[in-house]
Amino acid sequence: MCLKQYTPRKIIEVRNMPKYKFSNISGPVTFPLSTAFVDKYMPEANATFVKVYLYGLRLCYLPGIDADNKKIADALDILETDVLKAFDFWESKGIVRRSSDGTVEFMDLSSDVEAQKPQKPAYKASDIESMMKKSDIKQLVSHAEGIFGKTLSQSEIGTLFGFYDWLHLPVEVILMLLEYCASLQKTSMRYAEKVALSWAEEGIDSIEKAHEFLSATENREKNTRYYKKLLGLRGGKFTDAEYAHIVQWTEKMGMPPELIKKAAEKASDVTGGVSFPYINGILQSWYKKDIKTVEDLSKDEIPKNTATSRQKQTQVSNRFVDFSQTHDYDFDAIEEKMQKKRMRK
């Protein structure tokens, strides 16, 4: 909105002219945030850096507002050094630029968004006919039909060729990808395309990387089946968070399966089910006490006899502490009575 200066009509002449002031509009209710920032840059930054970026970007849409690092730190309730570290981080990523006079410039990420979304080419019939003349592509199609057990349509051949031409995956890697899909009983080219896009994004572009990925995937599936049975769970796969717990317990902490099962049983007694955070708490406690086997659990348990003995000692101790002598006794007379009893016996 453009504000123009308003000059009131002078109706009567007064000695003290009133002062006219326009109230400032508050600025935009929303401001644009690039999806490239959320999809590409935000996941690899810590929460404080993200807060600084968002707050700084917000200030860009408040014309006339001057802010320095201290004001930003006060507004976000963080240290001023954290603000500096944040802008150092974002500058290293190329999405913020600082000049010698202290100005922070937020870069336009719209082109970055386009770069993240490669446009899938539409192959014409003539393109497919031309590419089928290449021996490696012809063999790729032939092997693909053998793996999927069907004759590929012209559209499916175009999709398959896109893995090679568009996603730049080697023929050997594409064949491994198709074998993987077939092992999951997924012989749809649409499903294969989703996997191909995922592999391309993760940089799986060689036989070695494909083997590594498939091996890790196979291990995860085996572990999922094993630990589902061990923990008495049914249903599908573990979530990423749940599987991260399994990896931490087995690989980082070195906990054997039988000890994990004991922790799950102990957690179930309290929660009535399988609670991964609760199991993790128990295992973390055992790990700190250097409990690595079921036999080591004796370190964490007080024997029942010992506990009973301690309770009795406490009770006896409490009785004598509470006892107060309020009578005078004739110990000679008591001894004489005890001797007479012994003589009678």
Instruction: Give me the domain span that covers residue 288.
Output: 220-300
* Among the ranges given (7-21, 206-220, 325-339), the one the predictor scored with the smallest mean pLDDT: 7-21
Domain count, the chain: 3
The residues that bridge with 278 in the sheet, in sequence order, are: none
Helix (H, G, I), strand (E, B) or coil at 104: strand
Most confident listed range (117-126, 203-212, 229-238): 203-212
- Answer yes or no: is 310 within a domain: no
**More confident of the two residues 306 and 75:** 75
Among residues 55, 81, 111, the one where a domain terminates is 111
146-205 pLDDT per residue, tens: 999 999 999 999 999 999 999 999 999 999 999 999 999 999 999 999 999 999 989 999
The proportion of the chain whose per-residue pLDDT surpasses 90, expressed as a percent, equals 45
pLDDT of residue 321: 44
Q: How many CB atoms sit inside 10 A of residue 156's CB?
A: 20
Average pLDDT (19-33) is 58
- CATH code for position 273: 1.10.10
Between 86 and 20, whose confidence is greater?
Answer: 86
Contacts within 8 Å (CB) and 24+ apart, 60-65: 60/31, 60/106, 61/27, 61/28, 61/31, 62/27, 63/27
C-alpha distances in angstroms, 233 versus 192, 241, 271?
Answer: 30, 16, 15
pLDDT digits (tens, 9 = 90+) for 70-107: 889 999 999 999 999 999 899 888 898 887 777 888 88
* Residue 307 maps to a domain: no
| 256-272: pLDDT as tens digits | 999 999 999 999 998 88
What was the pLDDT predicted at 63? 67
Same domain, 200 and 158: yes
- Asked if the structure places residue 272 within a domain, the reply is yes
Q: Is residue 152 domain-shared with residue 200, that is, in the same domain?
A: yes
Confidence of residue 64 (pLDDT cuts 50, 70, 90): low
Q: What's the pLDDT at 69?
A: 87
CA geometry: angle 191, 197, 202, nearest 5 deg:
130
Residue 119 lies in a domain: no
Q: How confident is the model at residue 34 (pLDDT cuts 50, 70, 90)?
A: confident
* Structural domain includes residue 243: yes
On whether both 256 and 201 belong to a single domain, the answer is no
CATH code, domain carrying 72: 1.10.10.10
* In-domain check, residue 120: no
The closest alpha carbon to 86, from 36, 42, 52, belongs to: 52
Calculate the average pLDDT of the chain. 80
Contacts of 156 (CB under 8 A, 6+ apart): 189
In the chain, the DSSP E strands lie at 96-98, 104-106
Q: Tell me, what's the pLDDT at 337?
A: 60
- Position 20 scores a pLDDT of 44
| Residue 212 domain flag | no
User: Residue 342: pLDDT band by 50, 70, 90 thresholds?
Assistant: low
- Boundary (domain end) residue, out of 178, 205, 232: 205
Task: Please give the pLDDT value at position 323.
Answer: 41
Two structure tokens written together for 302 = 């007080």
321 within some domain:
no
- pLDDT score of 42: 92
Look at 194 and 115; give whichever has higher pLDDT: 194
